Amino acid sequence: MILTKLTIENYRNIASAVFEPGRELTVICGKNGQGKTNLLEAAWMLTGARSFRGARDAELVRDGAEYAVAEGSVEGGERENDIRIFIGGEPGARKTRTARVNGVAHGRAGNAAGTFTAVVFDPGHLSLVKGGPEGRRRFLDTALCQLYPGYVTLLRQYTRLVTQKNALLKQYFTTPDADGLLDVFDERLAKSGAELSRRRREYLAQIGPEAANTYREIAGGGETLMLRYEASCTDAADLARILRESRRRDTAAGFCTAGPHREDLSIFVDGREAKRFASQGQQRSAVLSLKLAEAAGARQITGEHPVMLLDDVLSELDETRQAYLLCRMSHRQIIVTACDASLFGRTGGKICRMENGVLSDG
């Protein structure tokens, strides 16, 4: 997968920019707060996913502007595609993201998932180990949405059902035949939720060995990494049973307390739970291993390397991890931000600069 050109308009602090990265390494240099990450984020938006920084769509539009656009030309699957992500809406209305691929409207941006595949790694991802389970579920779901477009529909369906069930649970004691309505929701949740959980388990089983091998290499063979998905069920019948048994707890709490939206990915270093016992260096090695395994998994599934988007990651890693990451940078497109391009030594590649939202060649 190659991003050949990215055109941006009204995106955060970038009024307009045309970015043509090299086919392997491109380094975007500049001081902090100049817009380097904004450029990287705009490239990420072409995947159809939400901001990797957790920003709302309205926050992506430049101050004073009504809309923002990220438009990219990508090569992949022996063809070229043009992807246009539009962020906007009627004046006063909530801003949304929509997509066009090769001039054809796709509706919501997520419907374009799979056209452009990328793996992003930014300092915030270091919380994957010690943060809450929501971030680890998002890691799995984001990867699966890019690799299997049908997963987007499945995830939306399950999320919508949980939202609707939660609304009913809040009004449970004042809603006629609430139990009958909950039975209908639980039947649908059992089917879609069990499939969601199965897909996550299968994906983790695929990338887990690669993550373990990568961690072993980074650690010099002295430590081990193990990933375990904490599934809520084994199949639809099992999830249906769990939902029935949690009914009383759900009605008391006012929300759905069981199901794949509560699942977690456990990470172990040398057999001990990483979020409780891992050192800062071990946490960074674990996250780096997960991200490189994600890229390897995408290569295995799609037949192409995803584009690697690395936001100021070298400054977060020690020299050993920097060297390991740099040695994995060949034969794929990598776009990286840095305050100082000298960190990349003899790696070569194209240098660009960002200052006050203005992009220029280095």
End-to-end CA distance of the chain: 24
pLDDT at 218: 87
Contact criterion met (CB below 8 Å) for 129 and 267: yes
Token pair listed for 154: 């499945």
Helix axes 236-245, 178-218, angle to 10 degrees: 120
Helix (H) / strand (E) element for 229: namely strand 225-230
pLDDT at 340: 77
Helix axes 133-147, 280-302, angle to 10 degrees: 20
Using CA atoms, how far apart are residues 42 and 50, in angstroms rounded to an integer?
10
User: Looking at the chain, which residues constitute the CATH 1.20.1050.90 domain(s)?
Assistant: 124-302
CA angle 244, 246, 251 (to 5 degrees): 105
Sequence length of the chain is: 362
As to burial, measured by CB atoms within 10 angstroms (0-12 exposed, 13-18 middle, 19+ buried), residue 93 is exposed
Using CA atoms, how far apart are residues 260 and 292, in angstroms rounded to an integer?
25
pLDDT at 196: 97
All residue ranges of the chain with pLDDT < 50 are none
Q: What is the pLDDT of residues 15-43, one digit of tens each?
A: 999 999 999 889 999 998 999 999 999 99
Using CA atoms, how far apart are residues 266 and 38, in angstroms rounded to an integer?
31
User: Looking at the chain, which residues constitute the CATH 3.40.50.300 domain(s)?
Assistant: 1-117+304-362
Using CA atoms of 303, 50, 262, 140 in order, give the dihedral in degrees to the nearest 10.
20
pLDDT at 81: 95
Check residue 345 and report its DSSP letter.
G
CB atoms within 10 A of CB 15: 15
Token pair listed for 115: 């056209």
CB atoms within 10 A of CB 193: 29
CB atoms within 10 A of CB 157: 17
pLDDT at 125: 85
CATH topology of domain 124-302: Glutathione S-transferase Yfyf (Class Pi); Chain A, domain 2 (1.20.1050)
As to burial, measured by CB atoms within 10 angstroms (0-12 exposed, 13-18 middle, 19+ buried), residue 358 is middle
> What pTM value is reported for the model?
0.90
* Three-class SS state of 249: helix
CATH topology of domain 1-117+304-362: Rossmann fold (3.40.50)
**Residue closest to 45 by CA, chosen among 80, 74, 69:** 69
Using CA atoms, how far apart are residues 175 and 167, in angstroms rounded to an integer?
11
pLDDT at 261: 96
Residue 320's Cβ-side half-sphere holds a number of Cα atoms within 13 Å equal to 10
